[in-house]
Amino acid sequence: MRSAQPERIAMQNWSVRIAVVIVLLLSLRIGSIQADDELTNAEPLVIPTVEATALNLVGTNSCAAGSCHGGARLSEGRSFAAYQIWMRKDPHSTAYSVLSNESSSRMMALLYPKENGPAPHATKEARCLNCHVTTEPSGDLQVPPTSHAVADGVGCESCHGPAKQWLGLHSTIAWRGMSADAKSSLGFVDTTADLAGRAQLCANCHVGSPGRDVNHDLIAAGHPRLNFEFSAFHANLPKHWDAQSPRSTEIQDIEQDSAFEAKAWLTGQLVTAQTSVRLMQHRTKEPQPWPELSEYACFSCHHDLKENSWYQSRGRSTGRFAWGTWNYGMMPALAHDAAANGQFESLKTLMEESFPERAAVRQRAGDLDLVLSKLISEASSRDYSKQGMDQLALQMIDLSRDGDLPAESWDQTAQLYLAIVAISLAREKTAPGDPLNLTIQNELEAIRQKLLFDKNLDSPQEYSGSQIDVILRRLHGIQEALTTADRVNR
């Protein structure tokens, strides 16, 4: 482990971003297409011309014709206007252009020592392009993609699959009759069918994967830390599809399931953990820096050293590094059977040793990977009735027993908060009119207030014992309400 200097190190804007997620999440209105979503009065689009000659990618322009997905009227269906929504509202359409902004240049300058001459431009750097533009899924991620539509940023084919082999058929009537397997053999990615697959798609870039890694070097150079939580990110993605109205019969409407948010949350947690454990196996290989510091709680090293800081007062010695507080924050409650929990704990114990050995970590990470596959396949068949979801929420809150888990870590508290938000959104749809919904929402709002940072701060430096105590009280308020409801229901 590289030794951390015990001075207070200024944190960059990583934590602001999760605050943004939280703010957006609570201002979310599901179900209504708002008037300002109408795209009809918008100025005509100028479609940039770009080269699109790679093997399987055709470029986003190929989807943008008025009769395909470039329609401007939402009344004709959101998927008809998909291109317009993506272009005007979706953060992915600017993913390439941000590589030319000031913070990208600063990042590149810090990543490349001056002695070796001027740093390359981020738009020429494979380690940035792999996440910030559309790449061939099976392509060599070490080679910068230069020959296709890089300027589109994260375009349609990043999520729906390289279209060269299916685009022609897709616009014919024959497409409807084709089986899912036949479509997928042409490279089409069916985002409608499988929640775990959908979460995996996002996690490849938002958690990372071999060849796509926001490690501590990038974070220290100024890249935002990746704080991915699937249900919140999914909710924040501007919908270019008809999530609320019935679609054709061959489409499984997973979003119209009243338990959607709860399922998305649980599936997302497990897929995030699995993606992270796979990335970790890659990180253990030479010549990557090891141990990889971004695996650990940032505040293990970057803590406020004033006496009795919240961190120390909650029993963490400053010499120990807490591992996996974001990507595995809820694992102790999710790995419900003893075997799964054992695998998780054994990896955690190893990672929290002073110098975890690469090969041993790779081995245990591989074991946990297998366990996670099983948990993911079981996630969709859990009990998602109101009672089932209440049990799930209680199981999560149980992590805070004895002032344990969330008390010592902003990461885990924020994760716990997002968990209960997702479950309560699903609860509201499953049991509309249940007065308990409002009680939970009020407690959640109080918790959210305590998780936000002061205006002038960009990290929870002032996250203190008194804040934690309020949060714990509110959590236990929810716990009590749910437990009482459970007793009444029996």
Query: Quick one: three-class SS letters along 41-80?
Result: CCCCCCCCCCCCCCCCCCCHHHHCCCCCCCCCCHHHCCHH
**Residue 316 interacts with ligand HEC (CB under 6 A): yes or no:** no
Cβ burial of 119 (10 Å; 0-12, 13-18, 19+) is: middle
In the complex with ligand HEC, which residue's Cβ is closer, 13 or 439? 13
In the complex with ligand HEC, which residue's Cβ is closer, 79 or 483? 79
- The residue count for binding ligand HEC (CB under 6 A) is 77
In the complex with ligand HEC, which residue's Cβ is closer, 191 or 439? 191
Expressed in percent and rounded to 5, the helix, strand and coil fractions of the chain are 55, 0, 45
Distance, in Å, from the CA atom of 233 to the CA atom of 229, rounded to the nearest integer, reads 6
Using CB under 6 A, which residues numbered 318 to 337 contact ligand HEC? 321
Using CB under 6 A, which residues numbered 3 to 32 contact ligand HEC? 4-5, 9-12, 14, 17, 20
Task: Indicate the SS3 state at residue 242.
Answer: coil
Cβ burial of 27 (10 Å; 0-12, 13-18, 19+) is: exposed
Among 296, 310, 384, 463, binds ligand HEC (CB under 6 A): 296
**Residue 403 interacts with ligand HEC (CB under 6 A): yes or no:** no
**Residue 169 interacts with ligand HEC (CB under 6 A): yes or no:** no
**Residue 410 interacts with ligand HEC (CB under 6 A): yes or no:** no
Using CB under 6 A, which residues numbered 231 to 290 contact ligand HEC? 233-234, 236-237, 240-241, 247, 251
Using CB under 6 A, which residues numbered 171 to 210 contact ligand HEC? 191-192, 198, 201-202, 204-206, 208
Among 52, 92, 188, 274, binds ligand HEC (CB under 6 A): 92
**Residue 98 interacts with ligand HEC (CB under 6 A): yes or no:** yes
Determine the residue type at 282. H
Where is 446: in which H helix or E strand? Answer: helix 436-451
Determine the residue type at 335. A
Among 2, 29, 306, 490, binds ligand HEC (CB under 6 A): 2
User: Near ligand HEC by CB under 6 A, which window of 214-222, 366-374, 400-408, 442-450?
Assistant: 214-222
Contact (CB, 8 A) for 458 and 19: no
Region of 211 on the Ramachandran plot (φ > 0 left; ψ -120 to 50 alpha; else beta) = left
**Residue 298 interacts with ligand HEC (CB under 6 A): yes or no:** yes
Distance, in Å, from the CA atom of 274 to the CA atom of 334, rounded to the nearest integer, reads 13
User: Near ligand HEC by CB under 6 A, which window of 228-236, 303-311, 336-344, 382-390?
Assistant: 228-236
- CB of 248: closest distance to ligand HEC in angstroms? 8
In the complex with ligand HEC, which residue's Cβ is closer, 413 or 479? 413
- CB of 192: closest distance to ligand HEC in angstroms? 4
Among 74, 131, 195, 397, binds ligand HEC (CB under 6 A): 131
CA nearest to 321, candidates 301, 343, 348 = 301
Q: Going by C-beta distance under 8 Å and a sequence separation of 6 or more, which residues neighbour residue 63? A: 69, 70, 82, 83, 156, 163
**Residue 163 interacts with ligand HEC (CB under 6 A): yes or no:** no
- CB of 237: closest distance to ligand HEC in angstroms? 4
- CB of 258: closest distance to ligand HEC in angstroms? 17
Alpha-carbon distances, residue 259 vs 28, 252, 264, 440 (angstroms): 17, 14, 9, 17
CA nearest to 409, candidates 467, 456, 351 = 467
Contact (CB, 8 A) for 243 and 37: no
In the complex with ligand HEC, which residue's Cβ is closer, 161 or 332? 161
